């Protein structure tokens, strides 16, 4: 996703709630997902013809030197990217630009709301400019170098600017940030409790509104066109207990060649969205499995569980953020011309503290999302009974994704929010409780319907 959006999401702590539910690993998904190396009819036919055990070998074979190079760059970017953001924030502090932004904000307004809005606008624009080289490399240059992006330079820049304006509007004009700042001003020791308490409603609102307000800024959503596939998908959704009006197609082909599908939103806005690239490249039974996986997220309530988890975890996160923030301001404040944690010019330090704490929490959060992704895989298998289609769908990803199907353990722990593809293929290959009469874990009808589950 866009860098500017990451700033917004980091501040709201809502990032995780909206990125957990894609089919493909997010390291390679959303803005930078998986192209389809295997989209030629001949390659696809070879895939179907291959006996299942060979698919694992195919997954390894698909990790060509070119894909390895792409994966290496992405791993480096994922590892170093957050530190680049930290450095950019430190630059604003040590160069005293942040102090200057505060002075401009104080010169332009008397009310806290106006001052926060002016400061935050300057800060966001400065961070956008400082981050632009890396964002351009990560989201545009690399994606074009490996022929994964279909977006023009101007299109990419336009989307990035839209993201900046969106974060200024949401955090600045909606008085969220001013509210947060007034709590820091009033309670310089216990402000973190207020921000933690505010996280749950803000995350809920963000998740609820994302599909309605944010997503349509960048892409067009349409209900699936009338076709045999649509009927099969709606039949599958009905069996999983999901209303048909919640299944959409999104025109991702305007920006990427990669494949994915996801579920987001909350309550009435919750929806399952298929990338049009996936619709075009995958076979019907593979799409049905991918959707079965997404329906697993939906039916197992992964989104609201994650929102609740964030709401509770926010107390620990903001407590630690407050300690780091206070210590750094005490230690370096004089150098930055920042006199207290409530000084507007300290905002970059607050963002840095949030980044550092979230970085430390990432391995635990990834372990959690890997577990929920595994649950969704199980649900998809129990819903479709189609382990073969699942393996093919995973393999399509392994090839299109250019991700390492079997990464070193430390990379998996640090970066993977989905199980690695080899693990997913291996699991799908052996998971057939309906054949051995075992109890299914998540989809109760699986056993009752027996081996002849509808496809």
Stretch that binds Zn ion, among 39-47, 165-173, 206-214, 372-380 (CB under 5 A): 372-380
Stretch that binds Zn ion, among 31-39, 104-112, 227-235, 369-377 (CB under 5 A): 369-377
Q: What's the min distance (Å) between Cβ of 186 and Zn ion?
A: 41
Residue 266 near residue 298 (C-beta atoms within 8 A): no
Sequence-distant contacts of 316-320: CB under 8 A, at least 24 apart: 317/13, 317/196, 317/354, 317/357, 317/358, 317/361, 318/192, 318/193, 318/195, 318/196, 318/199, 319/192, 319/196, 320/353, 320/357
- Interface residues for Zn ion in 209-268 (CB under 5 A)? none
Query: What contacts 382, CB < 8 A, 6 or more positions away?
Result: 433, 434, 440, 441, 442, 443, 446
Tokens representing 341 are 């944690």
What are residue 275's DSSP bridge partners? 250
The residue among 67 and 264 lying less far from Zn ion, judged by its C-beta, is: 264
Does position 177 bind Zn ion by CB under 5 A? no
The residue among 14 and 177 lying less far from Zn ion, judged by its C-beta, is: 14
- Interface residues for Zn ion in 419-438 (CB under 5 A)? none
Helix (H) or strand (E) holding 249: strand 247-250
Beta sheet of 271-275, edge-to-edge order: 221-223, 247-250, 271-275, 261-264
Residue 298 carries which DSSP code?
H
The residue among 322 and 376 lying less far from Zn ion, judged by its C-beta, is: 376
The C-alpha angle with vertex 132 and arms to 126 and 135, in degrees rounded to 5, equals 135
The residue among 203 and 376 lying less far from Zn ion, judged by its C-beta, is: 376
Q: What's the min distance (Å) between Cβ of 22 and Zn ion?
A: 6
Stretch that binds Zn ion, among 5-13, 367-375, 409-417, 430-438 (CB under 5 A): 367-375
Q: What's the min distance (Å) between Cβ of 370 and Zn ion?
A: 10
SS3 of 110-172: CCHHHHHHHHHHHHHHHHHHHHHHHHHHHHHHHHHHCCCECCCHHHHHHHHHHHHHHHHHHHH
Stretch that binds Zn ion, among 99-107, 156-164, 304-312, 365-373 (CB under 5 A): 365-373
Stretch that binds Zn ion, among 87-95, 197-205, 375-383, 394-402 (CB under 5 A): 375-383
The residue among 121 and 264 lying less far from Zn ion, judged by its C-beta, is: 264
Residue 250: how many other CB atoms lie within 10 Å = 24
**For the chain, give me the number of helices (H) and strands (E)?**
22, 4
The C-alpha atoms of residue 74 and residue 116 are separated, in whole angstroms, by 35
Q: What's the min distance (Å) between Cβ of 376 and Zn ion?
A: 5
The C-alpha atoms of residue 251 and residue 280 are separated, in whole angstroms, by 11
The residue among 99 and 376 lying less far from Zn ion, judged by its C-beta, is: 376
Q: What's the min distance (Å) between Cβ of 297 and Zn ion?
A: 6
Q: What's the min distance (Å) between Cβ of 260 and Zn ion?
A: 10
The residue among 31 and 151 lying less far from Zn ion, judged by its C-beta, is: 31
Residue 36 near residue 280 (C-beta atoms within 8 A): no
Residue 24 near residue 15 (C-beta atoms within 8 A): no
Q: What's the min distance (Å) between Cβ of 160 and Zn ion?
A: 26
Q: What's the min distance (Å) between Cβ of 29 and Zn ion?
A: 9
The residue among 53 and 241 lying less far from Zn ion, judged by its C-beta, is: 241
Stretch that binds Zn ion, among 75-83, 184-192, 322-330, 371-379 (CB under 5 A): 371-379
The residue among 117 and 421 lying less far from Zn ion, judged by its C-beta, is: 421
The residue among 138 and 373 lying less far from Zn ion, judged by its C-beta, is: 373
Q: What's the min distance (Å) between Cβ of 213 and Zn ion?
A: 23
Site string for Zn ion, 323-362 (x = CB under 5 A): ----------------------------------------
Tokens 């929102």, located at residue: 307
- Interface residues for Zn ion in 376-395 (CB under 5 A)? 376
The C-alpha atoms of residue 256 and residue 34 are separated, in whole angstroms, by 8
Q: What's the min distance (Å) between Cβ of 335 and Zn ion?
A: 45
Residue 196 near residue 319 (C-beta atoms within 8 A): yes
Q: What's the min distance (Å) between Cβ of 299 and Zn ion?
A: 12
The residue among 215 and 373 lying less far from Zn ion, judged by its C-beta, is: 373
Residue 32 near residue 148 (C-beta atoms within 8 A): yes
- How do beta strands 247-250 and 261-264 pair? unpaired
Stretch that binds Zn ion, among 74-82, 230-238, 368-376, 432-440 (CB under 5 A): 368-376
Q: Give the residues lining the site for Zn ion (CB under 5 A).
A: 373, 376
């Amino acid at each position: 996703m866009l860098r500017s959006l990451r700033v917004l999401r980091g501040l709201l702590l809502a990032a995780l709630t909206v990125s957990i539910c894609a089919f493909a690993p997010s390291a390679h998904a959303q803005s930078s997902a998986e192209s389809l190396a295997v989209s030629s009819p001949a390659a696809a036919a070879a895939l179907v013809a291959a006996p299942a055990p060979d698919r694992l070998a195919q997954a390894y074979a698909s990790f060509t030197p070119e894909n390895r190079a792409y994966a290496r760059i992405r791993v480096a970017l994922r590892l170093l990217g957050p530190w680049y953001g930290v450095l950019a924030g430190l630059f604003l502090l040590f160069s005293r630009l942040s102090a200057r932004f505060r002075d401009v904000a104080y010169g332009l307004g008397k009310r806290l709301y106006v001052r926060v809005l002016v400061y935050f606008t300057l800060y966001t624009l400065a961070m956008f400019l400082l981050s632009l080289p890396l964002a351009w490399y990560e989201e545009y240059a690399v994606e074009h170098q490996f022929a994964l992006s279909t977006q023009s330079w101007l299109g990419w820049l336009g989307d990035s600017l839209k993201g900046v304006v969106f974060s200024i509007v949401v955090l600045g004009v909606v008085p969220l940030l001013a509210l947060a700042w007034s709590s820091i001003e009033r309670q310089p020791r216990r402000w973190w409790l207020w921000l933690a308490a505010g996280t749950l409603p803000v995350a809920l609102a963000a998740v609820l509104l994302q599909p309605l307000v944010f997503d349509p800024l960048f892409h067009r959503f349409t209900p699936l066109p009338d076709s045999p596939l649509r009927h099969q998908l709606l039949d599958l959704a009905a069996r999983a207990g999901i209303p048909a009006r919640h299944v959409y197609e999104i025109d991702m082909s305007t920006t990427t060649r990669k494949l994915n599908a996801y579920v987001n939103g909350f309550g009435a806005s919750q929806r399952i969205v298929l990338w049009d690239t996936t619709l075009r490249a995958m076979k019907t039974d593979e799409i049905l499995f991918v959707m079965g996986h997404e329906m697993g997220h939906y039916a197992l309530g992964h989104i609201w569980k994650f929102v609740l988890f964030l709401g509770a975890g926010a107390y620990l996160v903001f407590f630690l953020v407050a300690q780091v923030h206070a210590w750094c301001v005490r230690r370096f404040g004089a150098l930055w011309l920042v006199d207290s944690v409530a000084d507007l010019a300290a905002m970059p330090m607050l963002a840095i503290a949030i980044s550092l704490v979230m970085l430390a929490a990432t391995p635990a959060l990834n372990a959690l999302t890997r577990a929920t992704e595994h649950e969704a895989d199980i649900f998809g298998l129990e819903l479709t009974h189609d382990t073969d289609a699942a393996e093919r769908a995973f393999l399509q990803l392994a090839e299109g994704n250019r991700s390492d199907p079997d990464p070193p353990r430390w990379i998996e722990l640090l970066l993977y929010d989905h199980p690695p593809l080899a693990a997913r293929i291996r699991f799908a290959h052996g998971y057939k409780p309906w054949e051995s009469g075992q109890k299914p874990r998540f989809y109760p009808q699986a056993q009752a319907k027996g081996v002849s589950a509808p496809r």
